[in-house]
Amino acid sequence: MSRLIYGFIILSGLVMGRPVAECSSKPPAFFLAGDSTTAPDGGWGDGLLATLKKPAWGVNIGKSGATTASFLAGGYWANTTGHVKDNVAKYDSYVTISFGHNDQKSTSGVTLQKYQENLIKFANEVKSLGGKPLLTSSLTRRVFPSGQDHNATDSLHDQRLAAIAAAKATSSTIIDLNEASLKYINAIGKKAAREFNYGADMSDTTHLNPHGGAVFGRMVADLIIRADPCLEQYFTPNKTLSDLIWGDLPA
């Protein structure tokens, strides 16, 4: 079996969404809630939005340093839900919800149980407003133990499982970015994964440079389309990049 075909088979198992139904007559709008791995200047969010075709559109509300608790307390979640309220009548309002990098820190004050409860709260609130939550597991860190260039540390495993559980509890779509991104960087290896690193010296293995933002934004777009094929018409295709990603080749 070719690596490319295998990649698409694996991809089909990375997304869990509702059964394909009749497509909506409303175009989509995407509101991105998350930490710095979603936010502008370091995240995948702007890369995702760059793939949209009009009349689809979106807003990146990701906040550097955010936990699920601080995103709520700082008013960023209210900003997110405000966009849903203002646009749900004319647009299918999707909200990507992607946290975990900061929640897991011992100084965050957010336990794993509270993290999952906050994800459930966010998803239920989006649904109550008529929006569609996309619980998006955390982008993997690109940290490889010494001498293990194809075995990155699975440092967000528990947060991934909490996001999956929250999606199940709320009958929401899970976009399993953590599994997809971890699988991808393990396949291409440490040297190729370094090309996505943030910063002048490319030493930041958590955040993304503009190229990395485009690659993982494309990955999220492809995962969303797999979860809801009706949305494919609203994304600009990039077959070359998608084939590299899902063929486990450096992009």
Q: How far apart are CA 85 and CA 105, in angstroms?
A: 32
Q: Sign of the CA dihedral 15, 159, 80, 128? A: positive
Percent of the chain with pLDDT over 90: 91
Reported as a pLDDT band with limits 50, 70 and 90, residue 16 is very low
Mean pLDDT, rounded, of the chain: 93
Full set of structural domains in the chain with CATH: 28-245 (3.40.50.1110)
Q: How far apart are CA 77 and CA 24, in angstroms?
A: 26
Reported as a pLDDT band with limits 50, 70 and 90, residue 18 is very low
3 state SS of 50: coil
Reported as a pLDDT band with limits 50, 70 and 90, residue 22 is confident
Q: Sheet containing 15-16: give its strands across.
A: 15-16, 173-175, 132-136, 92-98, 28-34, 57-60
User: Terminal CA-to-CA distance of the chain, rounded, Å?
Assistant: 21
Q: What is the pLDDT of residue 21?
A: 56
Q: What is the pLDDT of residue 105?
A: 97
Mean pLDDT of the region 84-110: 98
Q: Sign of the CA dihedral 231, 82, 168, 175? A: positive
Tens-digit pLDDT profile for residues 149-189: 999 999 999 999 999 999 999 999 999 999 999 999 999 99
